[in-house]
Amino acid sequence: MSPERYARIQQVLSQRQHDLTLLMEEVHKPHNVSAIIRTADAVGIHQVHAVWAENPALRKGTALGSQIWVKNKHHSNTAVAVAYLKNQGMQVLVTHLDDSSIDFREVDYTKPTAIIMGQEKSGATAEAVALADQSIVVPMVGMVQSLNVSVAAATVLYEAQRQRSEAGMYGESQIPDDEKNAILFEGGFPVLYQECQRRSLPIPRIDNNGCIDAPASWWQALQYS
C-alpha cells in the first residue's frame, strides 16, 4: 500500500460516524441501494442496516458489490432491526407523512440516530412507523408527493452531516483499533485480503507506515496453504 493510500484511508476512518446510520426497509432496486450506500460513505456512515426478506439477491450482497468502506448488516425483519438499533441507544426516525410528522430539519442529529427509509413504491411499513420514535418528512411544494428514496436519504443525511460537522463530531475516530486494522488491510491489500478469507488466515497487523507487520509463519501459511 502506498503512503498516499494509507494516509487517505486513515483520514476517511478518522471521520466515520458509528452512531449515525440508515435502515433500508425492503429497498429493492439495486441502483437505489448503491446510491444510498454511496451517500452513506460520503457523509461518513460506517455501517448501514437492511431488511430484505423478499430479495435474496440483495440479502447476499450481490447488488452491493464489494463494500469495503460501508458495512452492511442484514436483519430478518423490521422489529428485530429496530430493537437492535434502540439497544445501541439510537433514536429511530422514519421517513413517513402522518399527523405527527415533523420537518426533518427539526431533529437533533448529533444524538445517536438511525433513519428508516421505506420501500420505493409503498414507503415505510406500518410496523416501522409504529416502532419508530418519530416520523419525519422532507417538505414539498410541487405536484409530486414523494422523492426518490435515494434522494430523500441524501437530503436527510446531509442535514445530519451539517449538524454534526458544526458540533465538531468529525475528525476523531470512533472505530475500534482491530476493526480499523482490518479495514486498512482490506482496502490496502485487497488481493491478500481475499486470500486470507479463502484460507481462513488471521488478519495481519498494518504498521504506521501502511506495511504488513506479520511473522514469517503467516507469510509461509499464505504461500503454502
Known binding residues for S-adenosyl-L-methionine: 95, 138, 147
Residues 6+ apart with CB under 8 A from 212: 185, 189, 192, 204, 205, 206
| Residue closest to 22 by CA, chosen among 59, 71, 57 | 71
Please give the annotated binding residues, written as ranges: 95, 138, 147
Cα 32 to Cα 36, 46, 64, 119, 130: the distances in Å are 6, 18, 10, 10, 25
Backbone angles phi, psi at 206, to 5 degrees: -105, 125
Place of cell 422514519: 94
Alpha-carbon distance of 165 to 3, in angstroms, equals 27
